[in-house]
Amino acid sequence: MSDESRKSYKLEVWVTAICFIIVAITGGFFSSFVVILNERFFDKVPTPEQLVQHYGESMFVAKEGLTVLGFPLHYFLLIMLSWIGVTIVGAIWCIVMDRLEEKQRA
């Protein structure tokens, strides 16, 4: 494999891996971080008193917190990152791959 070819190969693999990790986190399991880090970032401690005791509604009780356009921050981030965020990541990856393809053809 020539140096140029190796560079292109590494660029393809690493750019794809990084983009996938970003998309997986922001669009995929962003919500799991909200659950795990709830106490630290949203001042919510799960206690039995805070839980609604019937099926499907065993959840935290909402408190005032950071909001964007009226939405709780984590909710706003979830819907925007999984939509506009991943679209931008996808577009960037497409541009990189278009250039790489031109190189491969050359």
Partner 1 sequence: MEPRGEIFVLGLVLSIIVLLISVFISIWARRFTRNLGDYYVAGRSIGALNNGLAMVSLALSLTTFIGLTALILKGVYIAIALYASFTAAFIGLMLLAAPYLRRHKSFTTMAFISERYGSKTLRFISVFIMLIVSVLYLGGNLKGVGIVFFFLLGVPEIVGIVVGGLVVTLYVTLGGMYGVTYNQTFQTIVLIFCLMFPVAVVLKALGAAGWFFPPLGYGNLVPLMNEAVPHFFWPMLVHPIVYIAIFLGSFFGIIGLPHFVMRYFTVRDAREARWSTVICVFLVGLVNTTVYATGFAAMYYMRTQGIDIPEAAYDYMVFILLDALSGQGWLAIAVAGSVAAALSTIAGLLLIMGAGLIHDLYSELKPEVDDEKKLKLSYAAMFVVGVLVILFSLNPPKFILEAIMWSFGIAAAGLGVPIVLGIWWKRTNKYGVGAGMVVGALIGLYGWIMVGYLGMDPVTIPFPIFAKYFYGPLGWIKITAVAVPVSFILTVVVSWLTPPPPLELQKQVDVMHGWQDYDQKRYNGKGLPITVIVLSVLIMWFMTTLYDVFPK
Binding site for partner 1 (CB under 8 A): 1, 5, 9, 12, 16, 19-20, 23-24, 26-36, 38, 44, 46, 51-52, 55-62, 67, 69-72, 74-75, 78-79, 81-84, 86-87, 89-91, 93-94, 97-98, 100-101, 104-105
Count other Cβ atoms within 10 Å, centred on residue 37: 11
CB of 40 to partner 1, least distance (A): 14
Closer to partner 1 by Cβ: residue 40 or 100: 100
Please give the DSSP secondary-structure letter assigned to residue 72: E
In this structure, what token pair is assigned to residue 75?
């909710």
- Amino acid, res. 99: R
Residue 27 vs 40, nearer CB to partner 1: 27
User: What is the rounded distance in angstroms from the CA atom of residue 22 to the CA atom of residue 1?
Assistant: 29
Write down the least CB distance from residue 21 to partner 1, Å: 10
Task: Please provide residue 78's backbone torsions phi and psi, each rounded to the nearest 5 degrees.
Answer: -60, -50
